[in-house]
Amino acid sequence: MDKSRQVIVMYLITHLGLIFFLYPVDIISALSVGHWSAVLLGFMLHIALVAVYTKGLSYGAPQNVVDLFQGVGKAFAFVALLPLAVYFIVVIIITTRAYAEIATVIFLSDTPISTIMLLFLAVSTAISLTGIEAIFRTGMLIAILFFPFLLLVIVLSFQNADWHYMLPLMDRKTASLSFVYHPSFLKSLFAFVGGFLFLGFIPPDVPYRRGKIVKVSFALLPFFLISVYVPLMTFGENTSSRFPFPFIMAVDTVDISWLMFDRVTMFFMISLLCFVILFLSLVMWNTMLLLKRGFPAFRTKSAVLVLAGLVFVVCLLVPSWNTLEKMLWWNTLLRFYAALVIPLLTLAIGMRQRRKGAVRP
Share of the chain above pLDDT 70, in %: 92
Tell me, what's the pLDDT at 344? 92
Tell me, what's the pLDDT at 258? 62
Tell me, what's the pLDDT at 361? 43
Mean pLDDT for the stretch of residues 159-188: 76
Residue spans of alpha helices (H) in the chain:
4-19, 23-30, 35-60, 65-72, 74-106, 113-129, 132-156, 172-176, 183-188, 210-217, 221-235, 237-240, 246-252, 265-294, 300-317, 321-330, 332-336, 342-356
Residue 256 has pLDDT above 80, yes or no: no
Tell me, what's the pLDDT at 257? 65
Amino acid, res. 284: M
Residue 81 CA: distances (Å) to CA of 180, 289, 299, 343: 27, 11, 19, 12
Mean pLDDT for the stretch of residues 290-304: 74
Residue 16 has pLDDT above 50, yes or no: yes
pLDDT band at 234 (very low <50, low <70, confident <90, very high): confident
Residue spans of alpha helices (H) in 177-264:
183-188, 210-217, 221-235, 237-240, 246-252
Domain 4-356, CATH homologous superfamily name and number? Amino acid/polyamine transporter I (1.20.1740.10)
Q: To the nearest whole number, what is the mean pLDDT of the chain?
A: 83
- Angstrom distance (rounded) from CA 282 to CA 131: 9
Mean pLDDT for the stretch of residues 315-335: 84
Mean pLDDT for the stretch of residues 277-302: 81
pLDDT band at 360 (very low <50, low <70, confident <90, very high): very low
Residue 1 has pLDDT above 70, yes or no: no
Mean pLDDT for the stretch of residues 105-134: 85
pLDDT band at 176 (very low <50, low <70, confident <90, very high): low
Tell me, what's the pLDDT at 260? 55
Tell me, what's the pLDDT at 358? 47
Residue 209 has pLDDT above 60, yes or no: yes
Range with the largest mean pLDDT of 73-77, 198-202, 207-211, 344-348: 344-348
Q: What is the largest CA-CA distance in the chain?
A: 66
Tell me, what's the pLDDT at 261? 57
Mean pLDDT for the stretch of residues 101-109: 79
Range with the largest mean pLDDT of 172-186, 220-234, 259-273: 220-234
Mean pLDDT for the stretch of residues 180-194: 82
Single pTM value for the model: 0.88
pLDDT band at 359 (very low <50, low <70, confident <90, very high): very low
- Angstrom distance (rounded) from CA 256 to CA 113: 31
pLDDT band at 302 (very low <50, low <70, confident <90, very high): confident
Residues contacting residue 173 through CB under 8 Å, at least 6 positions apart = 31, 32, 33, 34, 179
Mean pLDDT for the stretch of residues 151-165: 82
Tell me, what's the pLDDT at 174? 66
Range with the largest mean pLDDT of 19-28, 315-324, 339-348: 339-348
Q: What is the pLDDT of residues 52-103, one digit of tens each?
A: 998 888 887 778 888 888 888 888 888 888 899 899 999 899 989 988 888 8
Q: Other CB atoms closer than 10 Å to residue 173's CB: what's the count? A: 16
Tell me, what's the pLDDT at 345? 92
